């Protein structure tokens, strides 16, 4: 196949035909707002800006992206100037999800296409001042949410849940993609990490996270963000420390649960709490499964899965998400 591809590239008519077809496709399905890559100097700016490096001698432009630490690869520790990025490098348009061949459903269902575009644009325009980690450079996460939530439509009637909502960025995506006839519950301290969970974390590994990390949020702020200015009638927010604040929800049935607690103890407890009440086919997603800033996330998920006899599937978003699906047991 590679030999055929190389041969076609040498045939000008084939190249022109490919470009013409691509132009027609993009005219019918125009790409949304260009996704952006944050620059360290832009922290505090009203929104993300594009970062494109100067072309190198061999004309290969590149962009810098970084992990949860907020320090971008290719940036010297005390410098905002991007360093050289080794080949292969990428053009800024490579971060446009519509250049990445999105799921075929978006070409066939214009309503779902519009819904997805709205979610991607909102997620990609989270201001750096609101989320300095570079959240908005991870459109794969929006695709993963869409497909996971689509798979729960048609299951036994049950509600949706997010544990650890912070400022509501992923909660808004879930709310857009869920079955609107059901209710979405979200639980958070809205005051950052609790010292009880941090104490357990420190017993597992040397961490610099402390009580109050990920604070600066509120119930009202999250609710109005999710509802684009108003509090949605099918959104219920619960404030408090897990599991105490979950007491009134222990008998609920769930179609979909997103766990984004970051820390070992609340994740382990959350999985043990919600799994028995997942309907058959229900989906649990646990964020940060591959995040080296929170290494105990993987430990919590793997320990739970070993006991339950289920296997996590690791998804391809930036810090990776483990996805579990409740099996249907038949006699």
Mean predicted confidence (pLDDT) in 93-98: 53
Is residue 35 situated within a structural domain? no
Is residue 55 situated within a structural domain? no
Is residue 64 situated within a structural domain? no
Tens-place pLDDT, residues 118-152: 998 898 888 777 776 766 668 889 999 999 999 99
**What is this structure's pTM?**
0.72
> How many residues does this entry show for the chain?
331
- Pair (162, 15) in one structural domain: no
Q: Is the pLDDT of residue 235 over 80?
A: yes
pLDDT of residue 126: 83
Distances (CA, A) of 81 to 14, 53, 64, 128: 40, 9, 10, 18
236 pLDDT band, cuts 50/70/90, is: very high
Residue 98 region, left (φ>0) first, then alpha (ψ -120 to 50), else beta? alpha
When mean pLDDT is compared across 11-15, 53-57, 159-163, 277-281, the lowest value belongs to: 53-57
Is residue 257 situated within a structural domain? yes
Mean predicted confidence (pLDDT) in 251-270: 98
- Pair (155, 22) in one structural domain: no
pLDDT of residue 248: 96
Instruction: State percent of the chain over pLDDT 90.
Output: 57
- Pair (317, 186) in one structural domain: yes
Domain of 20 in residue numbering reads as 1-30
Is residue 11 situated within a structural domain? yes
* First-residue to last-residue Cα distance in the chain: 47
Specify the 3-state DSSP secondary structure of 174: helix
pLDDT of residue 270: 98
pLDDT of residue 161: 98
- Pair (158, 20) in one structural domain: no
What letters, b where the CB count within 10 A reaches 16 and e where it falls short, cover 190-219? bbbbbeebbeebeeeeebebeeeebeebeb
**Number of CB atoms found within 10 A of residue 255's CB:** 25
Is residue 25 situated within a structural domain? yes
pLDDT of residue 127: 79
pLDDT of residue 99: 59
19 pLDDT band, cuts 50/70/90, is: low
Mean predicted confidence (pLDDT) in 184-198: 96
89 pLDDT band, cuts 50/70/90, is: low
- Pair (169, 311) in one structural domain: yes
Which residues lie below 8 Å from residue 37, measured CB to CB, with a gap of 6+? 48, 50, 51, 63, 64, 65, 92, 95, 134, 137
Q: Give the CATH number of the domain where residue 238 resides.
A: 3.40.50.150
Is residue 145 situated within a structural domain? yes
Query: Which of 329, 327, 324 is CA-nearest to residue 148?
Result: 324
77 pLDDT band, cuts 50/70/90, is: very low
Task: For tokens 């999710």, name the residue.
Answer: 226
pLDDT of residue 131: 75
Q: Is the pLDDT of residue 68 over 70?
A: no
Is residue 184 situated within a structural domain? yes
Give the separation between CA 75 and CA 35, rounded to whole angstroms: 20
pLDDT of residue 55: 33
pLDDT of residue 212: 86
75 pLDDT band, cuts 50/70/90, is: very low
Q: How many domains does the chain have?
A: 2
């Amino acid at each position: 196949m590679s030999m055929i591809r190389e041969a076609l590239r040498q045939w000008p008519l084939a190249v022109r035909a490919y470009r013409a077809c691509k132009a027609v496709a993009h005219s019918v399905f125009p790409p949304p707002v260009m996704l952006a890559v944050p620059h360290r100097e832009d922290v505090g700016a009203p929104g993300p800006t594009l970062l494109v490096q100067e072309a190198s001698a061999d004309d290969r432009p590149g962009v810098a992206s970084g992990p949860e630490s907020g320090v971008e690869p290719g940036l010297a520790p005390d410098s905002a100037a991007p360093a050289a990025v080794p080949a292969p490098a990428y053009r800024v348009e490579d971060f446009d999800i519509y250049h990445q061949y999105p799921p075929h459903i978006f070409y066939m269902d214009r309503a779902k296409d519009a819904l997805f575009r709205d979610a991607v644009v909102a997620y990609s325009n989270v201001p750096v001042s609101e989320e300095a980690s570079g959240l908005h450079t991870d459109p794969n996460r929006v695709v993963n949410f869409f497909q996971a939530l689509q798979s729960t439509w048609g299951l036994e009637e049950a509600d949706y849940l997010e544990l650890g909502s912070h400022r509501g960025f992923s909660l808004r995506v879930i709310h857009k993609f869920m079955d609107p006839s059901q209710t979405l519950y979200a639980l958070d301290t809205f005051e950052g990490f609790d010292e009880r969970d941090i104490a357990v974390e420190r017993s597992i590994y040397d961490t610099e996270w402390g009580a109050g990390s990920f604070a600066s949020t509120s119930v009202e702020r999250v609710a109005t963000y999710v509802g684009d200015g108003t509090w949605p009638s099918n959104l219920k927010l619960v404030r408090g420390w897990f599991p105490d604040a979950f007491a009134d929800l222990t008998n609920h049935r769930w179609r979909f649960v997103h766990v984004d607690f970051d820390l070992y103890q609340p994740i382990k407890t959350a999985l043990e709490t919600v799994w028995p009440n997942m309907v058959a086919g229900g989906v649990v997603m646990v964020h940060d499964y591959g995040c080296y800033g929170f290494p105990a996330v993987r430990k919590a998920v793997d320990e739970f899965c070993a006991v339950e006899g289920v296997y996590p599937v690791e998804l391809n978003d930036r810090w990776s998400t483990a996805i579990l699906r409740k099996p249907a047991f038949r006699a």
